[in-house]
Structure 1
Amino acid sequence: MSIYDFTVKDSKGNDVPLSNYKEKVLLIVNTATACGFTPQYKDLQDLYLQYKDQGFEILDFPCNQFGKQAPGTNDEITSFCEMKYKTTFTTFGKIEVNGDNADPLYKYLKQNSKGILGDSIKWNFTKFLIDREGNVIERYAPITNPSKIAGTIEKLLAKQ
């Protein structure tokens, strides 16, 4: 099993097979529009613009489980991100990342990530870095600014 076996919903409710992202380096992030970490959207966009032409994608999954900090509909969230932070990476439909209703992708990411962060997602803007083969390489805490991940992304992009 790999991340390519999962299908997720886009912000319009359409199925998107993650196999569409084969051979890409991915940063998968659970986000929120009313969080102290929300300004990271700018840093995520900067990272995306810097590396997208080399095979890098950001997959943005809004989540309202932490302090109800992702209010609104999928369309409202997408519009907010595009207008306020000029995001051009893909924002998917709102999901849950913990508990009985956790999205299967996030169950997989948590089970297959290294580190001392535990089994549950602690807060918004937890980041998972995926290599071109679909392996979870690293899990980053919400406090990790996306710019700090650039060096690792470059190394993964250099591997063909």
Structure 2
Amino acid sequence: MTLVQTHKDVENLTLTFTTEFEADVERVWQVWEDPRQLERWWGPPTWPATFDTYDFSPGGNARYFMTGPDGNKEHGWWKITAIDAPNRLEFEDGFADKNGDPVDVTDVTRCVVTFEPSGSGTRMTSVTTFRSAEQLEEMSKMGMEEGMTQALGQIDGILAETSVSR
């Protein structure tokens, strides 16, 4: 993976990650579409994710938790708002309780991920929009930028595999 750019824009309340992969768009799309592949990279290496609900369709829900090095589990949820396979994915993301239910449905971020051919591979751009500058700053203090960079760095290994279990 080549991390082309990370850009935090406080004025527009966004955090953008632009990456390039040496795989075609359809293959990069699969690391989002297949929950078993998604689990292998969603979260930094020391906080792997487990998706116990994953309805990858417009209006679908996902429930997951990330397990820290000490065994502590942090839960999250997604509401998938739009899919244009294999070009665009949009979802809301928030914190959840231990049952996977949203803690605060107003404390969400909105994420738009786009995929486009680029040279010999794919450019993937992920733009997260925050509800306020305070939310953006809080998530930054929690290590969102570093964690997402580490998470994205795990995708190359998955893409390099010749057989894809689905």
1 or 2, which has the higher helix percentage? 1
Larger Rg: 2
